Amino acid sequence: MHRPPQWLLKSFSFLLNRKMPFRLLKAYTRWLEWRKPPTDLAQFSYQVTLRSIAKLYGREGKVVWASLFFPSEFIYAFRGLPFYPEIAAGLFAALGFAEIPLHRAEKAWFSQDLCSYHRLGLGASLWRFFPRPSFLLATTSICWGTVSFFQVLEEIFRVPCYILDVPEEYSSEAIRYLAAQLEDLAHTLKEKEGVTFQWEEVFHHAQKALSMVQEIESLRKRKDLLLLPPTKNLDYLPYYYQFMGDEVAVTFFEQLRAFLLSSTQTLPHRLLWLHLKPFYPSPLPSLLEEYGLGVVCEEFTSLFPHELNPLEPFLSLGEKIASLSFHFTHPKARTKRILQWFKEYQAEGAIQFNQWGCRQSQGMNALLRQSLRREGFPILFLDGDHLDRRHNTQEQWRTRLEAFAEILRG
């Protein structure tokens, strides 16, 4: 891609840091809602995205950046506006703009070997493309790269950064330890940021969204339905993380369920999708369709299944963090969950799209392969990068998917 000139990027950054354009955008979104009430998922998502942009860049509240496993319910509870830079990085790539921030980060000596979710986040932050945070919240899971990433963001924006230390195990002590840190954090934020917490409504929305997701999962377990084009569900990641606790997620999942019930498409093979996927425009989804490889379950859209109790908010959220972290990062727990999905979703195999700079997941590949092989399930690891095309091995995708489809056909 040809990089736009500096003056253009600077002007763009200047505009992004003014409130006025986003007041206008807000007026437009209101008009759009009135003129064209969303009738399908695409229109709904489009309007939600515009509204979020207007709110975040128009600074209609405290903009709070969080790492993927930091629960958005905590932020909604004090009426903050959650912003997940790792998710926004995916959106940037989907729009085809990844190269600009990636290049900016590398110019500042953040190596190409770092995870591109973080590198892109750094570049976009250095360009001031993302909405300026009031403060930062992160957990030490899903990976240690997240911690360093947030520490550098702290340095770039000179705003407070609060990091929760997540133990490696999933136990009542771990949950209590996390709950105590969350409670401590809530006190600090009350004191320093003057916020107050209201849990009922937020937990109510999260709960409703969760039951909707569980219905969707039940639908996806049916063999007569395939439901979504392969890997499409990962485009809805913001609803599973950033909007949890907001009414928007409930409405979205209601719409998704309605869409799924009306869909009749199926593909010959049912697969699990591990880790994320390339978010830049690529032929991967169509290749999967071509070889009949349907995706019925994605690791990252599998939610924390427990109820959130507004009377014990910190314990509930502590448990959410501990459970998510454990099931994603502990090899035995992760494998166990994957094997359970194989049964529940009647899946025949799994695909993981490796992320170049991700030691956390790639370091587990050998053991995961062995465990699945022992149980008779094939797994395909595709190499590449989710956001940075330069690490991509697109030429090999076709051959490898073809070979995998053959294995599945037996």
Partner 1 sequence: MHENQVGYFCHYVPWELFEACGLRGTLVTPAPPFPREREAFFPVPFCPFSKLIAEEIHRAPFSLYVLGFACDASRRTKEILEYLHTKKNLPKTILSLPIPFLGSSWGIQRLAENLRQLSLQLALLAGIHPWEVETRLGEVILSSYEERKEISTLFFAGRLPTQALLTHKRGESLPSQEARPSVLLIGSHLFLSEVVQIAEECGLSVIEESPRGTGPWLILPEQDFVPSSDPFLDLARLYTLHKFPCPRVNQRRAQTIHKMVDHLSLTGVIFLYPQFCDAFLYQLGLLRRFLAVPLLPLAHDTEPNLAQWTTRIEAFREVVRCAPSSPMAPQKL
How would you list the strands of the sheet with 379-382, edge to edge?
293-298, 269-274, 349-353, 379-382
CA dist., res. 404 & res. 349, Å (int): 9
Identify what 117 binds: ligand SF4, partner 1, none; CB under 5 to 8 Å per kind.
ligand SF4
Q: Whole-number minimum distance, CB 357 to partner 1, in Å?
A: 7
358 near ligand SF4, judged by CB under 6 A: yes
Residue numbers at the binding site for partner 1 (CB under 8 A): 105, 108-111, 113-115, 122, 126, 140, 143-145, 147-149, 151-152, 154-156, 163-165, 167-168, 177, 180-181, 184, 331, 354, 356-357, 359-360, 362-367, 370
Scanning 46-54, 124-132, 140-148, 217-225 for contacts with ligand SF4 by CB under 6 A, the matching segment is 140-148
Residue 356, sorted as left (phi over 0), alpha (psi -120 to 50) or beta, turns out to be alpha
Q: Which of 91, 92, 87, 118 is nearest to 105 (CA)?
A: 118
Residue 376, sorted as left (phi over 0), alpha (psi -120 to 50) or beta, turns out to be left
Return the number of the residue (270 or 277) whose C-beta is nearest ligand SF4: 277
Scanning 16-24, 141-149, 250-258, 392-400 for contacts with ligand SF4 by CB under 6 A, the matching segment is 141-149
Q: Which of 216, 247, 206, 253 is nearest to 71 (CA)?
A: 206
Return the number of the residue (71 or 285) whose C-beta is nearest partner 1: 71
Binding mask 318-357 for ligand SF4 (x = CB under 6 A): -------------------------------------x-x
Q: Which of 83, 163, 164 is nearest to 125 (CA)?
A: 83
Q: Whole-number minimum distance, CB 107 to partner 1, in Å?
A: 10
> The tokens of 180 are what?
């105590």
Up-side HSE of residue 246: CA atoms within 13 Å toward CB? Answer: 20
86 near ligand SF4, judged by CB under 6 A: yes
Amino acid at 266: T
Distances 339 to 31, 157, 343, 369, 373 between C-alpha atoms, Å? 48, 43, 7, 12, 11
Amino acid at 313: P
Q: Whole-number minimum distance, CB 391 to partner 1, in Å?
A: 9
Distances 95 to 32, 89, 99, 133, 149 between C-alpha atoms, Å? 22, 10, 11, 22, 23
3-class state of residue 382 by DSSP: strand
Tell me if 93 sits within 8 A of 386, measured CB to CB.
Answer: yes
Return the number of the residue (27 or 367) whose C-beta is nearest partner 1: 367
Among 231, 251, 360, 371, indicate the residue that binds ligand SF4 (CB under 6 A). 360
298 near ligand SF4, judged by CB under 6 A: no
* Closest residue to ligand SF4, based on beta-carbon distance: 358
CA dist., res. 154 & res. 149, Å (int): 9
Scanning 143-151, 264-272, 340-348, 364-372 for contacts with ligand SF4 by CB under 6 A, the matching segment is 143-151
Q: Whole-number minimum distance, CB 92 to ligand SF4, in Å?
A: 15
Identify what 40 binds: partner 1, ligand SF4, none; CB under 5 to 8 Å per kind.
none
CA dist., res. 326 & res. 321, Å (int): 8
Distances 125 to 52, 104, 121, 136, 377 between C-alpha atoms, Å? 18, 9, 6, 13, 42
Identify what 364 binds: partner 1, ligand SF4, none; CB under 5 to 8 Å per kind.
partner 1
Identify what 213 binds: partner 1, ligand SF4, none; CB under 5 to 8 Å per kind.
none
Identify what 402 binds: partner 1, ligand SF4, none; CB under 5 to 8 Å per kind.
none
Strand partners, 138: 163
141 near ligand SF4, judged by CB under 6 A: no
Q: Whole-number minimum distance, CB 67 to ligand SF4, in Å?
A: 8
Residues whose CB is less than 8 angstroms from the CB of residue 394 and which lie 6 or more positions away in sequence, other chains included:
282, 283, 384
Among 115, 122, 175, 324, indicate the residue that binds ligand SF4 (CB under 6 A). 115
Residue ranges in contact with ligand SF4 by CB under 6 A: 86, 115, 117, 142-143, 145-146, 355, 357-358, 360-361
